[in-house]
Homo-oligomer: A and B are copies of this chain.
Amino acid sequence: MDYEPQGAKIVTPNKNVGNMPADHARNGFYGQDILSVSQFDRQKLEYIFKVAHEMRVLVERFGSADLLHGKILANLFYEPSTRTSSSFMAAMLRLGGQVIPINNVQYSSVTKGESLPDTIRTLESYSDVIVLRHPEVGAAATAAHYAANPIINAGDGVGEHPTQALLDLFTVVESLGRIDKLRVAMVGDLKYGRTVHSLTKLLVNYEVEFVFVSPEILAMPEDVLNVVREHGHSFSVTDDVNPVIGEVDVLYVTRVQKERFTDLAQYDRVRDQYVVDEALMERAKRDMIVMHPLPRINEISYGVDDDPRAAYFKQMRNGMYIRMALLAAVLGKA
């Protein structure tokens, strides 16, 4: 990014958090940034899932808590994302904290607008933690470099969106009771879908069998497949969901977008091959789940919504629990 001062380096997050309580030091989240799924090993995932589950129990029983009373979240969105910003807002409010929502920030050239570091330094004068959504890859890491308070990455362009991957995996474990020994199929646009890349990188921490289902031109990229290989996992690749539907425990559906195709005839051939409908669900296992990052257009039929295996609205709610867990953890209250 061109506003990066000469000589500045993007450092791995390791903030000086002063008198860090021993418990949180062990868990390693207090005062830390949440920038990437690569920060999470199996132990850390299990810790966050444990806290998120506690948050679920708390909300279901009491609605809210006062854990973060007096704390302020700056919710800084350089591009609109109603779902994600509302989810973080709800998470902070349910923990008794407060939120400064900052939307419609002028994202503009250096000559017109303020640099990201200056904006971050200003906002951390007012707040205790910053959630950042930004269209540029690496923006969250830049923000974290300049901020003394924790930064949580809520999506930086085609880069990372770690809380989405965490809520996806949390939904698997809350729905099926385990992650090991599952067969997970990812369906649709596996090339450009940020969510399936990040989820795959988290799943390699577990004993999972992958099935990648997509048209050839939207196949899972080699660098993600290499991560799977490096962790010694088996995977299969196919362009047809029908042969695999009866054997998977998780069906993670993404949208095949028209804009990805230069040959529209090709798009018309494949567009309906990856639609999950009631007929397809009849051949699925009884205890599997269907997931989707939302918004969906027509890639899952409305008729599937009331199927108990439909987990995509649960994902939304789990997103709030995961974000509650992360906010509490980085502020030392988990």
Check if A141 is an interface residue, CB within 8 A of chain B: no
- Smallest CB gap from A87: residue in B: B126
A307 contacts partner chain B, Cβ-Cβ < 8 Å: no
Inter-subunit contact A111/B297 (CB<8 Å): yes
Q: How many angstroms between the C-alpha atoms of A198 and B175 in the bound complex?
A: 46
Taking CB atoms, residues of chain B closer than 8 Å to A63 are 70-71, 128
Main SS of the interface on chain A?
mixed
Encode A290-324 as 1/0 by CB contact (under 8 A) with B.
00001111000011010000000100110110000
Does A16 interact with chain B (Cβ within 8 Å)? no
- The answer to whether A83 and B122 have CB atoms under 8 Å apart is yes
Find A125's partner among B110, B114, B118, B317 (CB 8 Å cutoff).
B317
Chain B hits for A320, CB < 8 A? 125-126
Q: Assess the A126–B86 pair: CB atoms within 8 A.
A: yes
**Which residues of chain B are within 8 angstroms of A62 by Cβ–Cβ distance?**
70
B residues within 8 A CB of A127? 90
Q: Say if the beta carbon of A89 comes within 8 Å of chain B.
A: yes
A266 to B: closest C-beta gap in Å: 19
* A93 close to B (CB within 8 Å): yes
A284 at the B interface (CB under 8 A): no
Q: Could you tell me which residues of chain A, from 112 to 155, have a CB within 8 Å of some CB in chain B?
A: 113-114, 117-119, 121-123, 125-128
Question: Can you give 9 A-B contacts (C-beta < 8 A)?
Answer: A63-B128, A64-B71, A64-B72, A80-B104, A82-B119, A86-B102, A87-B126, A93-B98, A111-B297
Seen from chain A, the residues whose Cβ lies within 8 Å of a Cβ on chain B are 5-6, 62-64, 69-72, 74, 80, 82-83, 86-87, 89-90, 93-94, 98, 100-106, 110-111, 113-114, 117-119, 121-123, 125-128, 294-297, 302-303, 305, 313, 316-317, 319-320
Identify the 9 closest CB pairs spanning chains A and B, nearest first.
Answer: A90-B126, A64-B70, A5-B302, A114-B295, A125-B317, A125-B316, A93-B98, A63-B70, A122-B316
